[in-house]
Structure 1
């Protein structure tokens, strides 16, 4: 076989494969964007919602639901999560996706969750509600409060 012909044939095959890969990755990114859409907490500090098996699988048998909240540098935040249906865990994720704070069981010895933290960077944070292990799904109450200093 002619070397020039073989080299030309490889170029023809590689270019479409590269374009196909780009097309597949773009479709996957669009699909992921539609699947993951955290719920914005706008002017809502307290809500009742339901964790279900349609939410984000945690990989430990449980599920998680995410909420976004815009916070300012210097905000003092309290997040309270309670449920009669499952053992709750609350996680606060920073704008870069790192875990800023997490609480499994509240100070009252119950399986409800309570955390306090100070915000060091202005941005959009994720409040993640999840069940511990395989404890399940069900109704929960979430309260996100920006604490004010006493004057």
Structure 2
């Protein structure tokens, strides 16, 4: 009788720490994921100089991407200009649900810079993704985000 009671309480002792350990691991992983992906907040109208590096988001095509978070309102007309002498850049505007709203690879001037124009159809937090084309690399770039005003 003593060995069965001891065995039953031993099983309970082993199961409880294993459950707590599993909960601890999943919670730690969730917090780590939040720290790994944090888009850079960007004012509605901004011009910034930044650098794309191999520490940014891998695209799966050999290049890298950097994300900027911007709050947009339904009806906003947006111009996004990306220029770099270091890599062939691509701009992507992602909707609050993660779908692609618009994307531009090469600007109208025939260069590898990008220029994107779009009208926002839903208010929310959008992602402006700057990335390099294929394996074209990393380096310095300028990003300009402008809300266009109607001509009066």
Q: Secondary structure at the match of 2:127?
A: strand
Q: Which runs of 5+ in 1 are unaligned?
A: 1-5
Moved more, 36-45 or 46-55: 36-45
Residues 14-64 of structure 1: CA deviation (Å, up to 9, x unaligned)? 665444333212111111111211111126511111111111111111111
Provide the aligned C-alpha RMSD in A: 2.2
Kindly state the Cα deviation for residue 9 of structure 1 after the two structures are TM-superposed: 8.5
Does 2:92 match 1:91?
yes
Q: TM-score, normalised by structure 1?
A: 0.87
Q: 2:45, 2:146 within 8 Å by CA — same for their partners in 1?
A: no
Which residue number corresponds to residue 105 of structure 2? 104
Which runs of structure 2 are paired with 1:57-96 in the superposition (5 Å)?
Answer: 57-96=58-97
Moved more, 35-44 or 7-16: 7-16
Q: TM-score, normalised by structure 2?
A: 0.86
Which residue number corresponds to residue 135 of structure 1? 136
Which residue number corresponds to residue 38 of structure 1? 39
Kindly state the Cα deviation for residue 8 of structure 1 after the two structures are TM-superposed: 9.4
Which residue number corresponds to residue 119 of structure 1? 120
Separation of aligned partners in 1, 2:73 and 2:102: 16
Q: Which runs of 5+ in 2 are unaligned?
A: 1-6
- Judged with a 3 Å threshold, the aligned counterparts in structure 2 of structure 1 residues 14 and 129 are, in CA distance, closer, same or farther, namely same
Separation of aligned partners in 2, 1:11 and 1:118: 60
Q: How many aligned residue pairs are there?
A: 150
Separation of aligned partners in 1, 2:105 and 2:63: 14
